[in-house]
Structure formats: structure tokens, C-alpha cells
């Protein structure tokens, strides 16, 4: 790739909108927290753990991802994990980050909702005061668990309502369609929460349609399989429904065989609002700039696409309109210079 384009991708102001904070736990930090907390791991070394990151599909990743999260016990553990991600994101010139977290992964192990969200939120506050980086938290329901468990999680979350802006839906997609959570999402909508859902990663385009129609989500996480359905693609373009795309994740989880097969360029050509994100950076081979560099290296993407992706990362965010405008103006000024 041209050095100028590369520099531009790295330095352009950007937002990251699809990043699971538990997926930012690097093997070194997993081992450090395991030692600090006396948690036994079934891997003997950082190298052995990294070696296990040879995924064949979403489920093979999730099994290891939930095992990694088992070292998180104390508020400070959640703080340290979040702080490490924010430092990496800052190095990639991420100006605004909307983070997912999976409370059920922790509450099922006896770690309280307050411990998890407290540590994550404190790190976000520090990044705001120290660096001026803005952020928001989105709590995800694990779709392999029941509707009843999702409702119970929502109850636990309500005392912390000021610390998160919305809800999402993640974990094993196949066999767990959006309609399973229609009533929970309806309740969240009544509470004024912003709504997103993973759909069309491994699951069929139909899951994207039901996420829109039955959950009334504002963004689709992944959504790359929409191109299999021409009518759905037109609808997403017409309604400007953002897709938070995670290229390296899609390659590692075999949604596409290799980076050059990724449909990012085709999504853009279809007129869709798309953003580039890292999903689970510690597991999928890189942070947000790694995702940009890889896609621009293997696809015929150029400066105009970079400008659009940077702009849309803010336009698709849940920032207040005035903040969005300010950051998009910064992007425009960056590309004008
Ligand atoms: N898909 C579904 N659930 C997840 C993912 C993902 O890529 N990462 C963390 N939880
Ligand atoms: Zn995800």
C-alpha cells in the first residue's frame, strides 16, 4: 500500500463502534490476572494460549473467549482491561469508542453487575478527563441464554442506568434468532435505551430483517450477509442503517476465506453506511487500524473510501448531533489538508 494512504488511515480521526471489551483481553493480561486472582487456566503459557486461537467458526472462538474472561473477578480487573484497550485505541487515533460488554459472562460466575460495569466505567471516565476521548457502553444479552435470563439481567442493570446507553445482542447466532428477544428489546425501547444487534454474521439475511422489524434496532452489528438479499440491501441503503463491519474477525471466523474475499468494497458500492471495527482485537489479529490497513492493502480502496469510512464512523455513532458534527468537521479538515 502507498505510504501516504497508510499514514492517512492511521492518523485520521475515527470512532470504533463494535468492540467487545472482553475481547480486548490480551493473553499476557489474561495470565497476569489469573496469577493475581489465583485462577487456574488450562493453558500453561501465553504462547500455548495464543496457539489455541485457530478458530473454525464463531462457536470455536466463543468457547475460548468465555474461558479468557474467567480471570476477571475484581473491579480493578475490569478497569485494567478497559484501560489497556483505551490506550491502544488512542494510539490508533480513536476519538470516540462505543464498547460492548457481556454482563452475563460475569454474573454467571458470581461476579456482580456492579463490579463489572464499575471498573469499565471508571476507565472510560479517566480516558475522558485525561485525553478527551469520549465513549459509551452498550450491554449485550447473550443470545444462547434465555429470554428470562435477559430480563433478569436488565433488572440488575437498572440501578446503573446512567452508565450505559443501550443494549445489544451477541454470542452464538445460528439457532438463536432475534425474535427470541423481541419482548426484552421492547422493554429496553420503553426505557429509552439505544438498540443494536449482531445479525447476518453467520446467521442468514433473514436475521437482519427480523432484527430491524421485531427488535427495531438502529444499527446492525456485522450484517455482511445482507448482500445475499437484494431487497434487504436496498432497504438498508435507503434507510441508512449502519453496519458495523469487522473484517479481521470475519476472516478469522471463516465468514470469508481470506481478506481479499471480504465484501467491504461491495457493501460500499451498494450505497450502505458502513464502519470498520475490531470486534475482539486480542483474538482476531489486531486493533482498528490493523483492520483498516488490511482491507486497504487487499481491496481497491482509496482516499475517498477512507474519508467516507471515517466520517460514517461518527455519523453512525450514538453521540449527540452537535458532537457528531464537530467530529465530522475534524475528519473533513483532516482530508482537506
Ligand atoms: N459475534 C458474536 N458474539 C460475540 C462476538 C462476535 O463476533 N464477539 C464477542 N461476542
Ligand atoms: Zn461482535
- Confidence at 1, pLDDT banded by 50, 70, 90: confident
**DSSP three-state, residue 12:** coil
CA distance 152 to 265: 41
Cell numbers that stand for 286 in this block: 489486531
Q: Which atom of ligand 1 is nearest to the CA of 249?
A: 7
CA distance 331 to 317: 14
- Where are the strands (E) in the chain, listed by range? 14-20, 94-101, 134-142, 166-170, 194-199, 219-222, 243-245, 274-276
Task: Determine the residue of 16, 17, 22, 58 to mutate for testing ligand 1's pocket, defined as the one with the most ligand atoms within 8 A of the Cβ atom.
Answer: 58
Closest CA to 276 of 92, 132, 143, 136: 92
Measured at the CA of 97, the angle between CA 95 and CA 102, to 5 degrees, comes to 165
Instruction: Give me the mean pLDDT over the 222-228 stretch.
Output: 98
Which pLDDT tens digit goes with each residue over 173-188? 999 999 999 999 999 9
Amino acid 319: pLDDT: 98
Q: Residue 118: which residues within 8 A CB-CB, separation 6 or more?
A: 75, 78
Query: How many C-beta atoms lie closer than 10 Å to residue 44's C-beta?
Result: 9
Which pLDDT tens digit goes with each residue over 240-264? 999 999 999 999 999 999 999 999 9
Query: By the 8 A CB rule, do 169 and 201 touch?
Result: no
CA distance 6 to 303: 10
**Catalytic residue among 16, 26, 75, 201, which?**
201
Residue ID of nearest Cα to ligand 1 atom 4: 171
CA distance 176 to 225: 16
Report the DSSP beta bridge partners of residue 96: 15, 134
CA distance 17 to 40: 33
Task: Determine the residue of 55, 57, 59, 62 to mutate for testing ligand 1's pocket, defined as the one with the most ligand atoms within 8 A of the Cβ atom.
Answer: 62
Q: Which residues line ligand 1 (CB under 6 A)?
A: 20, 23, 58, 65, 170-171, 198, 201, 249, 279-280
Q: What is the pTM of this model?
A: 0.98
Amino acid 173: pLDDT: 96
Q: Which residue pairs, CB below 8 angstroms and at least 24 apart, start in 28-37?
A: 29/80, 29/81, 29/84, 30/68, 30/71, 33/71, 33/72, 33/73, 33/77, 33/80, 33/81, 34/71, 36/77, 37/71, 37/73, 37/74, 37/77
Instruction: Give me the mean pLDDT over the 126-146 stretch.
Output: 98
Closest CA to 222 of 178, 165, 161, 285: 178
Query: By the 8 A CB rule, do 148 and 104 touch?
Result: no
Is 201 an active-site residue? Answer: yes
Query: By the 8 A CB rule, do 207 and 188 touch?
Result: no
Query: How many C-beta atoms lie closer than 10 Å to residue 83's C-beta?
Result: 18
Q: Which atom of ligand 1 is nearest to the CA of 173?
A: 2
Which pLDDT tens digit goes with each residue over 279-327? 999 999 999 999 999 999 999 999 999 999 999 999 999 999 999 999 9
CA distance 334 to 299: 23
Closest CA to 281 of 254, 257, 252: 252
The CA 164 to ligand 1 mean position distance, Å, reads 19
Instruction: Give me the mean pLDDT over the 41-68 stretch.
Output: 95
Task: Determine the residue of 99, 171, 223, 277 to mutate for testing ligand 1's pocket, defined as the one with the most ligand atoms within 8 A of the Cβ atom.
Answer: 171
Cell numbers that stand for 137 in this block: 457502553
Listing DSSP states for 155-193 in one string gives HHHGGGGGG--EEEEES--TT--GGGGHHHHHHHHHTT-
End-to-end CA distance of the chain: 20
Closest CA to 299 of 1, 88, 80, 44: 1
Cell numbers that stand for 179 in this block: 425474535
Amino acid 154: pLDDT: 98
Domains and CATH numbers, the chain: 3-23+75-336 (3.20.20.140)
Residue ID of nearest Cα to ligand 1 atom 10: 171
The CA 171 to ligand 1 mean position distance, Å, reads 5
Q: Which atom of ligand 1 is nearest to the CA of 102?
A: 10
pLDDT, averaged across the chain: 98
Amino acid at each position: 500500500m502507498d505510504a501516504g494512504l497508510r499514514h492517512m488511515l492511521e492518523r485520521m480521526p475515527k470512532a470504533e463502534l463494535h468492540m467487545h471489551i472482553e475481547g480486548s483481553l490480551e493473553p499476557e493480561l489474561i495470565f497476569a490476572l489469573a496469577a493475581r486472582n489465583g485462577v487456574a487456566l488450562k493453558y500453561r503459557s501465553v504462547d500455548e494460549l495464543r496457539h489455541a486461537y485457530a478458530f473454525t467458526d464463531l462457536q470455536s472462538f466463543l468457547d475460548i473467549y468465555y474461558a479468557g474472561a474467567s480471570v476477571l473477578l475484581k473491579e480493578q480487573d475490569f478497569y485494567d482491561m478497559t484501560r489497556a484497550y483505551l490506550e491502544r485505541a488512542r494510539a490508533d487515533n480513536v476519538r470516540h469508542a462505543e464498547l460492548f460488554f457481556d454482563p452475563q459472562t460475569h454474573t454467571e460466575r458470581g461476579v456482580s453487575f456492579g463490579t463489572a460495569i464499575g471498573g469499565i466505567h471508571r476507565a472510560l471516565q479517566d480516558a475522558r478527563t485525561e485525553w478527551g476521548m469520549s465513549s459509551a457502553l452498550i450491554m449485550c444479552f447473550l443470545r444462547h441464554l434465555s429470554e428470562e435470563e435477559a430480563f433478569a439481567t436488565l433488572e440488575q442493570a437498572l440501578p446503573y442506568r446512567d452508565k450505559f446507553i443501550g443494549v445489544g445482542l451477541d454470542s452464538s447466532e445460528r439457532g438463536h434468532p432475534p425474535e427470541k428477544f423481541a419482548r426484552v428489546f421492547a422493554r429496553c425501547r420503553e426505557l429509552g435505551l439505544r438498540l443494536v444487534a449482531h445479525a447476518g454474521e453467520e446467521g442468514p439475511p433473514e436475521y437482519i430483517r427480523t432484527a430491524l422489524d421485531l427488535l427495531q434496532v438502529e444499527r446492525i452489528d456485522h450484517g455482511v450477509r445482507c448482500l445475499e438479499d437484494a431487497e434487504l440491501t436496498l432497504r438498508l441503503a435507503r434507510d441508512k442503517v449502519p453496519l458495523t463491519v469487522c473484517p479481521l474477525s470475519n476472516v478469522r471466523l471463516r465468514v470469508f476465506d481470506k481478506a481479499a474475499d471480504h465484501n467491504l468494497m461491495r457493501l460500499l458500492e451498494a450505497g450502505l453506511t458502513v464502519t470498520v471495527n475490531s470486534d475482539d482485537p486480542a483474538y482476531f489479529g489486531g486493533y482498528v487500524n490493523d483492520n483498516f490497513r488490511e482491507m486497504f492493502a487487499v481491496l481497491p480502496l482509496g482516499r475517498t473510501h477512507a474519508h467516507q469510512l471515517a466520517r460514517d464512523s461518527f455519523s453512525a455513532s450514538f453521540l449527540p448531533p452537535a458532537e457528531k458534527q464537530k467530529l465530522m468537521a475534524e475528519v473533513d479538515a483532516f482530508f482537506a489538508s
